[in-house]
Chains A and B, each alone.
Chain A
């Protein structure tokens, strides 16, 4: 087995407690799971875990947004979605129980922004709806339904009528939803 069962130093632990919404136990559990993922990596030891390995976690394996989540939280220069331990903690912190609505809605917006341009336009919305309903042909909405749906969404949430949903419009919609905070949650 790889045997790199390094313990997390105490000062780092308290620093992470300060900078994330995770409790000490959650950080230690995350460290344990991340070390296991690192052990399973093929190739030389690196501080980053590739996206494929991260996506083997049961909590992320069947999430339709898994690739977007990895890309959003990854700080890798190669933009390949690989996560360092701190990226992993950021991920868990945003999806934790005690994260605020602002943080969750901010990251939700980034996850839904498939082309990373800072706004949700019609193409992003279409990709979003397809992720929600299933990617195969017999589970998509028809083109007519999609068109009707996207025009409804833009009508409801696009306040300044520029054809896209920006961050504050998105957060406005989210703030009216009572179930968002409890559904935007991943607990290891």
Chain B
């Protein structure tokens, strides 16, 4: 259902875009059909056609008069917004004065004044809101010096910071603060246990040793691994009580609040991501998914006018030249490779299949390594420094693989001989797959351990439906794993900064041997950095149910990331030589974020619905599944609300809704294809009009030549023929396309 809604959103954006392009083309087409006067005399079209026949004689004619479109604009019925007229200020003022004089006559003057005041109000509001935009100046400066690609990373980071901050406010308001309040007021009214707990008494044992005064050394270990004093605190699930407060006019059900807050948090993140995707999706639909080899697009839109400073300009020029040369080279190679023999093609494809297998084996080996590391670290319980290392073993394996495997994949991709653009996309896809699935493998291994591979009849899991011996409070353990992953990720980033990037810059700047010049300064690679952000965010989403303060920790982590990355960018990095298509990649990164969200929502749904909550801890300790608080709460509502909720959840409602969504999707995609077809039709019409115009001009020119020849032949036989010949040859150079069969509209 969610995928349907997402699909409809994209198609709607596509229609909007197509109709805007369609309208813009129509407007421009109209401007072209009544040819804009080429010369300062803005009379009818015939005049300009005639004048066109003798361009060489009139030297003033070379200056195209851009002021003339004003007359066209005046004649049109709709009063255009003055700013959108491409005239200089003097002319705009004149037009404005004319409009002002006309306004009292027209009865809609009040409307115009109202729209003006509304616009002013919007500007004031926008100005005030711009003060609240986080890091606006900093990100602008980054864009100016390093270009749009790097800026998109920081914009993405800012989006995640705001998302995490709002989520932590949400969780604090509905879960954390009520818990603190109720605990401090010592209101411990719990629901009476209705289950006979004679067998399960063993499951109730949970003793995380709170209140013992720890040694400083163990204090630090506990802080970093989430055990000891950290375990039994508001950080983790286990500390929250299943209190249900029902005083005179006020009732608050903590378990229900906990569950609903988690669900709402996920929905909120989904909606924010989709809204942000909607903006970029619109642009992606316009370009048709990123035109590769669009030389005209590169040349016309390639320059970034926001760049400042000689260094940035030179780098951008190098960048553009490099891209143009690479694209031209690619085209030449493509022409050459289209003539590959059968044997060469077959060998190339077998090589590619083999290398893909190698990549899959590498990734498979990584997953195996992660699974083994997780099992090993979960099964041991040593203390001290070794214990800490062992606890961080899964995180270390994941981070190491995330670093090593993409490097190997890059080297392998060089052998595969794809075009450069395909190589980049393939590398990104492989990196994404590696990161998200390795997290999935970790979670799967945990699940295996906790629920004895889902087998309830296993003797370890029999009484409590989970492995009670090792996991007295399994939710807290999962939360601890996510907490460790987040912390480790942060530590590794800071360590890389301090131990790798700064020394590299110092070495490159001061030592001028060939090796250092070859390696050069660090380049800020956008794609791996963004994937790291997506990975951290997925970890936070997965852990939010079990570690409610994790979004807050993540907010602080990302804020520190911003400052650290900015410092390293300006101090250590050079701009990327390979350009980065910011908008299509923005869309891709948000898509990957959505995949991460999907993974963590699977985890959420499974733990809420299927796994038995711990008996000894947490707000759901007496339910057989976390979801059970909801039906219980629904029963306590009044009759009509209960009926309404049951109806919405039943099949009687969801199946018609699904069918209706399918119908809407079909309608909207049909609309898109119709608009696309009209755009193609208009394009070919435009071509035909131009050909007709050329043909007519040629005819007129020939007639003119004949007439002038007849007129002037007795007087000046020499003088007129030269320019006429010149213009005749000029037009003859353009083959008369009106008589050519229609060619296929060029696919753009």
By a beta-carbon cutoff of 8 Å, the part of chain A in contact with chain B is 15, 17-21, 23-25, 58-59, 61-65, 73, 75, 86-87, 89-90, 93, 95, 99-103, 106-108, 110, 112-113, 115-118, 125, 128-129, 132-134, 139, 141, 145, 148-149, 152-153, 156-157, 159-163, 165-168, 170-180, 182-187
B299 touches A62 (CB 8 A): no
CB nearest to B311 among chain A residues: A62
Bound-state CA distance A95–B306 (Å) is 9
B82 touches A62 (CB 8 A): no
What sequence of 0s and 1s flags, for each residue 562-587 of chain B, a beta carbon within 8 Å of any chain A beta carbon? 00000000000000000001111000
B283 contacts A by Cβ under 8 Å:
yes
Bound-state CA distance A161–B306 (Å) is 34
Q: Distance (Å) between the CB of A107 and the closest chain B CB?
A: 7
B704 contacts A by Cβ under 8 Å:
no
A179 touches B314 (CB 8 A): no
A selection of 23 A-B contacts at a CB cut-off of 8 Å is: A18-B96, A23-B126, A73-B88, A75-B88, A75-B90, A103-B86, A132-B303, A141-B324, A141-B325, A145-B325, A152-B331, A156-B746, A156-B748, A159-B687, A161-B734, A168-B25, A171-B28, A173-B300, A177-B300, A179-B301, A179-B583, A180-B300, A184-B305
Q: Distance (Å) between the CB of A2 and the closest chain B CB?
A: 24
A177 touches B86 (CB 8 A): no
Bound-state CA distance A101–B734 (Å) is 32
Q: Which stretch, B214-222, B288-296, B425-433, touches the partner chain A?
A: B288-296
Bound-state CA distance A175–B62 (Å) is 28
Kindly list 6 other residue pairs between chains A and B, CB separation below 8 angstroms, not including A20-B83, A63-B307, A160-B687: A20-B89, A100-B84, A134-B318, A168-B32, A177-B300, A178-B284
B90 touches A25 (CB 8 A): no
B31 touches A168 (CB 8 A): yes
Known A87-B89, A103-B86, A175-B21: A156·B63 in contact at CB below 8 Å:
no
A163 touches B284 (CB 8 A): no
B328 contacts A by Cβ under 8 Å:
yes
Bound-state CA distance A176–B737 (Å) is 27
Bound-state CA distance A24–B120 (Å) is 10
Task: Indicate the member of B24, B28, B314 with the most A CB atoms within 10 Å.
Answer: B28
Bound-state CA distance A153–B331 (Å) is 13
Bound-state CA distance A152–B330 (Å) is 13
Task: Indicate the member of B123, B140, B581 with the most A CB atoms within 10 Å.
Answer: B123
**Chain A residues, CB < 8 A from B287:** 176-178
CB nearest to A133 among chain B residues: B321
Q: Which 9 A-B pairs have the closest CB atoms?
A: A118-B64, A160-B690, A86-B89, A178-B283, A178-B583, A168-B28, A133-B321, A62-B313, A157-B296
Known A59-B308, A63-B313, A90-B89: A133·B301 in contact at CB below 8 Å:
no
A179 touches B582 (CB 8 A): yes
B352 contacts A by Cβ under 8 Å:
no
B90 touches A86 (CB 8 A): yes
**Chain A residues, CB < 8 A from B286:** 175-176, 178
| Number of residues of chain B lying within 8 A (CB) of chain A | 76
Bound-state CA distance A63–B734 (Å) is 36
Interface of A, helix, strand, loop or mixed by DSSP: helix
**Chain A residues, CB < 8 A from B38:** 118
**Chain A residues, CB < 8 A from B126:** 23
B317 contacts A by Cβ under 8 Å:
yes
Bound-state CA distance A116–B64 (Å) is 6
Bound-state CA distance A73–B690 (Å) is 30
B504 contacts A by Cβ under 8 Å:
no
B301 touches A174 (CB 8 A): yes
**Chain A residues, CB < 8 A from B306:** 183, 185-187
Task: Indicate the member of A25, A62, A170, A174 with the most B CB atoms within 10 Å.
Answer: A62
CB nearest to A95 among chain B residues: B305
Across the interface, B24 reaches (CB within 8 A) one of A118, A139, A171, A179, namely A171
B462 contacts A by Cβ under 8 Å:
no
Bound-state CA distance A177–B287 (Å) is 6
Across the interface, B305 reaches (CB within 8 A) one of A103, A106, A145, A185, namely A185
B66 touches A102 (CB 8 A): no
**Chain B residues, CB < 8 A from A156:** 294-296, 746, 748
**Chain B residues, CB < 8 A from A113:** 64
B320 contacts A by Cβ under 8 Å:
yes
B294 touches A64 (CB 8 A): no
Q: Distance (Å) between the CB of B278 and the closest chain A CB?
A: 14
CB nearest to B329 among chain A residues: A145
**Chain B residues, CB < 8 A from A107:** 86
Bound-state CA distance A176–B289 (Å) is 10
What sequence of 0s and 1s flags, for each residue 676-696 of chain B, a beta carbon within 8 Å of any chain A beta carbon? 000000010011001100100
Q: Distance (Å) between the CB of A69 and the closest chain B CB?
A: 9
Known A19-B89, A110-B66, A176-B291: A139·B317 in contact at CB below 8 Å:
yes
Known A115-B62, A176-B288: A149·B86 in contact at CB below 8 Å:
no
Q: Distance (Å) between the CB of A142 and the closest chain B CB?
A: 9
Known A86-B90, A167-B28: A176·B303 in contact at CB below 8 Å:
no
